[in-house]
Amino acid sequence: MDVVNLEAKFALFSDRWRPRIVAELNGQHVKLARLEGPFEWHSHPAEDELFLVLGGTLRMELRDGTRVLRPGELLVIPRGVEHRPVAAEGEVRVLLFEPASTVNTGDRPGARTVAAEWI
């Protein structure tokens, strides 16, 4: 078992919207990501997704309104709920907790679809 230092892991990458896996448990991945600007509207038909904001302010746009998350706050997006994360005020750093099968663009594959990688 290794201790994972989140700051040290964040120091290993600077690109946006490309999650990095830092741990795995019970078929779930713990990922770190740097976000900036808006992402794509999408949903995950078979997976719930947890966003924990570590730095910056994240706007989570949902069809029924917007939720604003600040450092230390989290939001669970239930499977099938269409959402669009937006980092509108500079960089946002998040920890994601989701099933290993989760694809970042969910049901809308495209140019921003990436395979998460271990760091």
pLDDT along the chain (119 residues), means of 10: 96 97 97 97 96 98 98 98 95 96 89 90
Instruction: Tell me if the pTM is above 0.75.
Output: yes
Containing 40, the helix (H) or strand (E) segment is: none
Q: How confident is the model at residue 74, as a pLDDT?
A: 98
β-pairing verdict for 117-118 and 20-25: parallel
Q: How confident is the model at residue 88, as a pLDDT?
A: 84
Say if residues 67 and 18 touch (Cβ distance below 8 Å).
no
Q: What are the structural domain ranges in the chain?
A: 6-118
Q: How confident is the model at residue 97, as a pLDDT?
A: 96
Q: Which residues pair with 59 in a beta bridge?
A: 68, 86
Q: How confident is the model at residue 116, as a pLDDT?
A: 82
| CATH of 6-118 given 2.60.120.10, 2.70.98.90, 2.30.30.30, 2.40.160.60 | 2.60.120.10
DSSP H helical ranges for the chain: 6-10
Q: How confident is the model at residue 5, as a pLDDT?
A: 98
